[in-house]
Chain A
């Protein structure tokens, strides 16, 4: 009896089902490491690395060294510390926004796709209208108009995050409804909630995972973008703000010594985005056992 129960656990082998697919692929490994780095940067980082916002003109635009890993900015302040402290905002706001956007998108998508008929047409129409609004200018304007706080930023970004996912979920659910295994589940009276959550939702996970990653990256770009353009300054350590003052106020593009600083921020952004995207891609193998080639 005990050996049987132990065997039962091995059937749902957490390692084989969830961890191995991610680690085994090079993209997954890269992505996981990036996510871990990001989490460390945002949580532990600010506690460990002291922030010094005092100007030290003697260190202006200093090049990267052991003391100043990313070099210094226009006031001689340590860029590394500023970036670490800014990462909380830069990572967290888009994450919350994307999460909310995905939740709205999934709920609307499931409703529209599963129920079909009139609801589907209404939801599709709504989504299509929303999609035609140019998101970046709209975010820009709303960020300028509304009171500046973390919450408003999250909400503004979320509001433009849900339409894309809704559309693809509606069409995917409508087609999944006709699959033979769904028909078999109906035949065997497995119940609507079972069909929704165990037959249909698992097949949406690849879309959801990927969308979460893509939205996250997009929202991060939007956030940094609008702050870079000077619309909503939130915090001095926000990367967008750093870039903004560097380039507009201190004309960093014309100063050769400033190049490493700008490059470092851009490269960091690229690395983070790439890692998130790769991680999201590798989640596909978790949710779709067929893709696991190595077994």
Chain B
């Protein structure tokens, strides 16, 4: 009964109609295809406004897509904006959990740690006795690193640090033994020195319970660490997945100019070259929004150093299969010169 493919999004789009007459369209997500198997960790990388949060919420059933289909455990749950399998949806929605960026707002401030977990357990395990629930809660707290559990039981969210709050939220999701955890910017509001600890926790959970994890972040370093070399990464821009594939392939020969620009422009901790700091070459023509506009259906055309007439005259956007586990939305994917970040040579 345990299916291997936990989640599949096919051609999922989300458009918002704004304005008095619903005339203006905000295309938050465009034709996204994404899937994840049991026990895998896949990362989605993108800036704010790229659509990554919307994709995350659609995956966990919190937002209905405008078009496209969502499959959970190989069963179509949502199609073209409607829930098609109501019973299945309601039975399983708590196994596809979404974790918010801000743990403070994701926790009810008037519930202490014990109650926060207790209400979830009571709902899903109604036949558990009070003392069994108590034991379960203590075990969950130990598992997420809130130790000793007895210290934390009567604390309220405002007593906890950012990292601790996030651990509590993770404990809450663990209580229902989820198939999928969508972790949306879960480390952005946590101290830098503790971020890796939270990501490690997610990795442990994935390893131990075979939970799938979609790790969403604007921080490429964190996203890569979460996915690991064997994991998958999706790069999103303006609602499109512009590049997707195995981390080892995408990071060593990125085929979409946006991915290249991302890697090149991240400030790096150690980049030394004979005593001087090496600054990345400007891989992206950075314009203010009005100085130059290239109208093309390609989302990156206005900033892309390779953009030309071919890009302007594009009628459709199609994925180029660069190799087995590597897709790119760039029309020039095969023609692009090989590229590595300039400072990689020194390593």
Chain A residues at the B interface, C-beta cutoff of 8 Å: 1, 4-5, 7-8, 10-11, 13, 179-181, 183-184, 186-191, 194, 198-199, 202-203, 287-290, 295
Q: Are B105 and A181 in contact (CB under 8 A)?
A: yes
Residues of A contacting B158 with CB < 8 Å? 289-290
Tell me the interface secondary structure of chain A in the complex. Answer: helix
Could you say which of B90, B109, B124, B150 contacts A289, with CB atoms under 8 Å apart?
B109
Could you say which of B108, B109, B111, B134 contacts A4, with CB atoms under 8 Å apart?
B134
Q: How far is the CA of A230 from the CA of B96 in the complex (A)?
A: 67
Residues of A contacting B94 with CB < 8 Å? 187-189
Q: Are A181 and B97 in contact (CB under 8 A)?
A: no
Q: Are A203 and B110 in contact (CB under 8 A)?
A: yes
CB distance from B161 to the nearest CB of A (A): 15
Query: Contacts A11-B153, A189-B94, A289-B156; is A4 near B61 (CB within 8 Å)?
Result: no
Q: Are A187 and B90 in contact (CB under 8 A)?
A: no
A-B contact count (CB 8 A): 79
CB distance from A295 to the nearest CB of B (A): 8
Q: Are B150 and A180 in contact (CB under 8 A)?
A: no
Chain B residues at the A interface, C-beta cutoff of 8 Å: 60-62, 90, 93-94, 96-98, 100, 102, 105-112, 114, 119-120, 123-124, 130-131, 134, 150, 153-154, 156, 158-159, 169, 172-173, 176
Query: Contacts A4-B131, A8-B130, A194-B119; is A187 near B97 (CB within 8 Å)?
Result: yes
Q: How far is the CA of A179 from the CA of B173 in the complex (A)?
A: 18
Q: Are A187 and B102 in contact (CB under 8 A)?
A: no
Q: Are A7 and B150 in contact (CB under 8 A)?
A: yes
CB distance from B88 to the nearest CB of A (A): 13
Residues of B contacting A295 with CB < 8 Å? 159
Could you say which of B109, B119, B131 contacts A5, with CB atoms under 8 Å apart?
B131
Name which residue of chain A comes closest to B159, CB basis. A295
Residues of A contacting B107 with CB < 8 Å? 181
Q: Are A13 and B106 in contact (CB under 8 A)?
A: no
Could you say which of A10, A179, A181, A183 contacts B154, with CB atoms under 8 Å apart?
A10
Q: Are A288 and B109 in contact (CB under 8 A)?
A: yes
Q: Are B110 and A191 in contact (CB under 8 A)?
A: no
- 18 new A-B contacts, CB < 8 A, other than A198-B111, A289-B110, A289-B158, are A10-B154, A11-B153, A181-B107, A183-B62, A183-B98, A183-B100, A183-B106, A186-B62, A187-B62, A187-B94, A187-B98, A188-B120, A188-B173, A190-B119, A194-B119, A199-B108, A287-B110, A290-B109
Q: Are A181 and B114 in contact (CB under 8 A)?
A: no
Could you say which of A7, A10, A190 contacts B123, with CB atoms under 8 Å apart?
A190
Q: Could you say which of A8, A180, A183 has the most chain B C-beta atoms within 10 Å of its C-beta?
A: A180
Q: Could you say which of A13, A186, A288 has the most chain B C-beta atoms within 10 Å of its C-beta?
A: A186
Residues of A contacting B93 with CB < 8 Å? 187, 189
Residues of B contacting A199 with CB < 8 Å? 108
Q: How far is the CA of A5 from the CA of B105 in the complex (A)?
A: 31
Residues of A contacting B105 with CB < 8 Å? 179-181
